[in-house]
Copies of this chain bind each other. A is one copy, B any other.
Amino acid sequence: MSNDYTQMWKELGLDLTAHDALLQVLGKGYQDIFLSQSDRPTGMDYFNFVMSEVHGLRIKELVDGKKEGHKIVGSYCVFVPEEIVRAADATLVGLCAGADFATEEVEKVLPRNTCALIKSAFGFKLGKVCPYLESTDMIVGENTCDGKKKSYEVLDTLVPNLYVMDLPQMKSTEGRAVLRAEYDKFKKAIEDLTGVTIDAPRLKKGIEIVNNKRKAVHRLSELRKADPVPISGLDALLINQVFFYDDPTRFTDSVNKICDELEVRVREGKGVRPKGSPRMLLSGCPMAVPNWKLPWVIETSGAVIVGEESCVGERGTRNLTDDSAATMDELMEAIVDRYFKIDCAVFTPNADRLEHVKEMSAAYKADGVIHYGLQFCQPYQIESLPVEKALENSGVPTLRVDTDYSMEDVEQIKTRVEAFVERIKMSACSACRCS
């Protein structure tokens, strides 16, 4: 880290010893998993820097921004419309966490069989190690899965600024009305928080900023369709993770810059893996920093990840918000239209997601799909069985991996992933009759 941020962390109320320990683990993990990769695009230097300053410079920016009146809104879900936050000159930051922390404390307030993502979020609060969470002016929870919905009732006793947004369970007319009403309420809450009245020009500007982030990520995704693939899945995942933390405009510029570089690579037929390497699509639960276990296992098992059907990935970023309308009401409708398309497994039925996995698998020329289910995440775990069945029936090899944030099962997962990669190689061989 470039500076000493101890005073800032202290003022945010962090537990400095615990926080130091976390940073050390994070730094070591980043070194081992990311910096050890070969042939990384030079544009990744920016993201290395972002990660090295993820609790430092970025927090300083946010804290400095607060002094100038820019509020910080924390969120645990891609259903929280960043456009509205941005329209009020506030910043939306992701609060999902990807590492076990203070588990003993967490299990005093949540059942043991709660998914790792929720437990981790609570651990970062109870362990006082998340400067994002501690700097928020508002934390937004949302009624997606049972685990989160009911945990927010507990979180509400731990933080002073929780705002809960309801979500529908079905994509019906009434369900859409629930979402519209909630987004209207949320807009009002953001106006109350910031003192800014969100009018159509402001909202259009908010939409533009967020759409630009998405467009940059779409450009990156497009480039990953090449064979050889010009960027590793780990690096692409990292970019998708930084999506939730960074200044949006700077993020957009940095992604576009790396895309310029990747375009040259693609033109020159250069990649991070040899042409013909087994290509994997990751599908399922989101992966928050520093949850890199499964992608790391996959990419050290002879395969390369070409896409993420995930909230931290294409499920979260695929659709743009239409900004062509002129009135607030129309723009709000456009926002509802955009978010109502998100095919999270909390919806029932959720046939769109299955179609999307198939589409992605074809578009990214994936040789196989690895479905990542967080243990105790019932929506994705239950949905993973029909997803697997449908993919296998259409000739796409699929592996279901259910895991948590512990490292205990790494070897076991590695064995399964390696066998899966072998299966794909064998089937490719038998198809080309080279054997």
Q: Give the distance to chain B from A191, nearest Cβ to Cβ, in Å.
A: 20
- The answer for the CA separation of A173 and B177 in the assembled complex, in Å, is 11
In the complex the two chains form, is B111's CB within 8 Å of A382's CB? yes
In the complex the two chains form, is A386's CB within 8 Å of B154's CB? yes
The residues of A with any CB-CB pair to B shorter than 8 Å are 109-111, 113-114, 143, 145-147, 149-154, 156, 164, 166-170, 172-175, 177-178, 181-182, 345-346, 348-350, 373, 375-376, 378-379, 381-386, 402
In the complex the two chains form, is A111's CB within 8 Å of B349's CB? no
- Given A113-B113, A175-B178: 20 more A-B contacts, CB < 8 Å: A110-B385, A113-B376, A113-B378, A113-B381, A146-B147, A146-B378, A146-B379, A149-B169, A150-B345, A150-B379, A150-B382, A153-B348, A153-B350, A153-B386, A154-B385, A164-B348, A174-B182, A177-B177, A376-B376, A376-B378
In the complex the two chains form, is B378's CB within 8 Å of A109's CB? no
In the complex the two chains form, is A113's CB within 8 Å of B375's CB? yes
Residues of B within 8 A of A143 (CB): 169-170, 348
- The answer for the CA separation of A109 and B110 in the assembled complex, in Å, is 28
Which of A109, A166, A181, A378 counts the most B-chain CB atoms under 10 A from its CB?
A378
Residues of B within 8 A of A170 (CB): 143, 166
Residues of B within 8 A of A346 (CB): 146
| 5 shortest interchain CB distances as A-B pairs | A150-B382, A146-B378, A111-B381, A166-B170, A146-B146
11 A-B residue pairings within 8 Å (CB atoms): A113-B381, A114-B378, A153-B350, A153-B386, A154-B385, A154-B386, A166-B174, A168-B178, A174-B177, A174-B178, A174-B181
- The answer for the CA separation of A348 and B376 in the assembled complex, in Å, is 20
In the complex the two chains form, is B348's CB within 8 Å of A150's CB? yes
Which one, B151, B153, B373, contacts A349 given CB within 8 A? B153
Which one, B114, B153, B166, B373, contacts A175 given CB within 8 A? B166
Which of A111, A167, A379 counts the most B-chain CB atoms under 10 A from its CB?
A111
- The answer for the CA separation of A402 and B111 in the assembled complex, in Å, is 10
Residues of B within 8 A of A156 (CB): 349
- The answer for the CA separation of A240 and B169 in the assembled complex, in Å, is 30
Which of A169, A182, A383, A386 counts the most B-chain CB atoms under 10 A from its CB?
A169
Residues of B within 8 A of A111 (CB): 373, 378, 381-382, 384-385, 402
